[in-house]
Amino acid sequence: MNHTASRTALLVPLIFGCHAAPSSTAVSSVTVGKPAEDARSDTAQARRVFEANIDAIHKRDRARYLSYYLQTDQLARNGPSGLDLGFADWPARRDSTWPDTLVARDLRLVPVAPGMVYGTYHYRVTQAGATSEGISERVFVRTPAGFKIAVSTAFGLPEGAAPPPVTLLGGTLINPGAAAVSNASIVVRDGRIACAGTRAECVPPPGAERVDVSGKFITPGLIDAHVHYSQTGWVDARPDAVDLRAEHPYDSVIAALQRNPAPFDRAWLCSGVTAVFDVGGFAFTIPMARAHERSLTAPRMAAAGPLLSSRAHWLNLPFLQQFIAMTGDSIVRATVSGLDQMGAGALKVWYLQLPDSLQPQAREMLMAAGDAARRAGLPLIVHATQLPRAKEALTAGARILVHSVDTGQIDDAFITAARRNGTIVIPTLTVREGYADVALGRSPAARYPLECVDAITRSKLERVIPEARRTRLLTVARGGVWDRQRPTMELNLRKLHEAGIPIAMGTDAGNPGTAHGPSVYREMEAMQAAGMTAREVLRSATLIAARAMGRDADIGSLERGKHADLVVFDADPSADIANARRVRMVMRGGALYGRAELLPMAR
Ligand SMILES: [Zn+2]
């Protein structure tokens, strides 16, 4: 779902050439201080035609839609594919397909001469999984049959271009670590925050679109600092947990993940998440992160790429590895150097508990990885859940620990080392609940809402796998070790938090039962239940998570100059983090979406 020029060119004529498109107008702009319009004026008459023209598209009323156009040789329609003149052949040549949604905002009219009115609006259209937006124009002329459209154009935003400026007015602004600002004004221009503060401080630019968000709560976009785009949220990408490869060949599953991450991108935005940190997977996640950064329909993304592992893992493809066994110093250093050259955002090490006899060698490799990462300037991310292993990770210079220590209470030495490193800890409390759901044949719907999850993933999550296929996982789940470890994880979270160690929110999404997107609600609620306040959880899920990604200079809070990534909620998430489920609008890079617009597309 990138805003590529070719897609824009393909899509734009559809808005006008098709005879139908359903409406999706969850975001409506308000015109503040608009002078009263005389109902008989040219502008008022043209406005009625303009609105009826768009309404006819929403209602899929082809005859009425065409009736608003000048039905002569002078009708001019223009777009990226060139000028098209005359009405006669147009209805016959129109494309028979139409967009899934067309959102029209910021309708403006200017009387340019008696009997002639210029109009423009900001459109966004979604078609076959691709979304594009841009500016469309009309020239209305007076005829004996009333005002008609004589000129119609539509031009998509070029890739990388920001949507037109917009101001959000009247909501409560909640920035991490700052007092809330009621009746706030957030001015967005060129995809960035131009001003965020009181209405006196942040005056909307004249002429720019204004959206009334009175009674709503605005926070920076949520950030999940622990995800895996190399996993689906179900067992088909984890045959090591439950092996369904006969039905879901692993290479096909991975190929699909690489080919089409869009359903997950959409689920993230739909859930209010505007950035994710992919902390380990196949190498294709690295260019995927770059593409996501340019897109307005995907969360921003940083990616670590393939992981170094303290033991060989078979979850690779013959031609593509996501786990690279640390069998020697040279392979460790070559991997770090290669990842650095490919543009990886971090180095991830999967540091496991091995038999005693093998641990010294693994420890040596971890230290080599830490040294190589430091030389390359890559932040070191370590998966280590046993206290001694996690301490070794800190010794190696880990900047991020992606899991809680679950084998026992952390001690002062651990806290001292974490503080010295400036380590950020991601507690990842709820990922095992997902595995337990799969093991016990439960849908995760009891833990988090599934509306944002695409139909295919949802049907997998709601499917009960035959018990014979999940025996091994069921034995672990029923054994109770996960239940016993959870209080330890929560206790360690409290200890770290009280000691001032920065905590970032991360779900481990992609793992079975942990869906990309809405899993953040369950994780944030678990952090609150473990003893953090809602405001602290919100900070962990915005500014601290941005810092974990190395992106806190440009995301994570709503301040002048930062990217305009934000969420508008119906209820205050800083009073109770459960209110974060009540997403109303999401802005990514200045593109404002109503939540309804971000729900999964029908397939
Ligand atoms: Zn993970």
419 within domain boundaries: no
Q: Cβ(531)–Cβ(552) under 8 Å?
A: no
Confidence of residue 94 (pLDDT cuts 50, 70, 90): low
Distance 481 CA to ligand 1 centre (A): 19
190 within domain boundaries: no
Q: Domain holding 137: CATH number?
A: 3.10.450.50
Q: pLDDT per residue over 191-224, tens digit each?
A: 999 999 999 999 999 888 999 999 999 999 999 9
Distance 508 CA to ligand 1 centre (A): 5
Distance 164 CA to ligand 1 centre (A): 37
138 within domain boundaries: yes
| Per-residue pLDDT at 26 exceeds 90 | no
Distance 602 CA to ligand 1 centre (A): 30
The residue from 156, 171, 195 where one domain ends is 156
Distance 228 CA to ligand 1 centre (A): 7
Confidence of residue 8 (pLDDT cuts 50, 70, 90): very low
The residue from 133, 156, 179 where one domain ends is 156
- 387: helix, strand or coil: helix
Q: Is the same domain home to 248 and 127?
A: no
% of residues, the chain, pLDDT over 70: 93
Domain span at residue 581 reads 220-397+431-482+504-598
Q: Is the same domain home to 297 and 382?
A: yes
CA 235 from chain centre, in angstroms, equals: 22
Distance 596 CA to ligand 1 centre (A): 30
Mean pLDDT of the chain: 91
Distance 543 CA to ligand 1 centre (A): 20
Q: pLDDT per residue over 484-503, tens digit each?
A: 999 999 999 999 999 999 99
- E-strand ranges in 51-203 read 76-78, 84-85, 101-113, 116-127, 130-143, 146-156, 166-169, 172-173, 184-189, 192-198
Q: Is the same domain home to 118 and 260?
A: no
Distance 382 CA to ligand 1 centre (A): 10
Taking the C-alpha atoms of residue 133 and residue 95, their distance in angstroms, rounded to an integer, is 19
Residues, CB-to-ion distance under 5 Å, ligand 1: 508
How high is the ipTM of this complex? 0.98
Q: Domain holding 521: CATH number?
A: 3.20.20.140
Distance 279 CA to ligand 1 centre (A): 7
- 214: helix, strand or coil: coil
> Residue range 60-82: average pLDDT?
92
**Of the listed ranges 118-127, 522-531, 557-566, the one predicted with least confidence:** 118-127
The residue from 109, 131, 156 where one domain ends is 156
Distance 546 CA to ligand 1 centre (A): 17
Q: Is the same domain home to 226 and 148?
A: no
Distance 61 CA to ligand 1 centre (A): 49
List 142's β-bridge partners, or say none: 147
Distance 571 CA to ligand 1 centre (A): 31
Q: Is the same domain home to 234 and 331?
A: yes
Q: Is the same domain home to 23 and 105?
A: yes
Q: pLDDT per residue over 223-255, tens digit each?
A: 999 999 999 999 999 999 999 999 999 999 999
603 within domain boundaries: no
Distance 431 CA to ligand 1 centre (A): 9
Q: Is the same domain home to 83 and 226?
A: no
Q: Is the same domain home to 152 and 224?
A: no
Q: β-strands 29-30, 209-212: how paired?
A: antiparallel
Distance 3 CA to ligand 1 centre (A): 30
Q: Cβ(150)–Cβ(76) under 8 Å?
A: yes
202 within domain boundaries: no
**C-alpha closest to that of 275 among 345, 230, 229, 225:** 225
Distance 324 CA to ligand 1 centre (A): 15
pLDDT for res 572: 98
For residue 409, the surrounding DSSP H or E stretch is none
Q: What's the number of CA atoms in the CB half-sphere (13 Å) around residue 225?
A: 35
Most confident range (mean pLDDT) of 4-18, 430-444, 473-487 is: 430-444
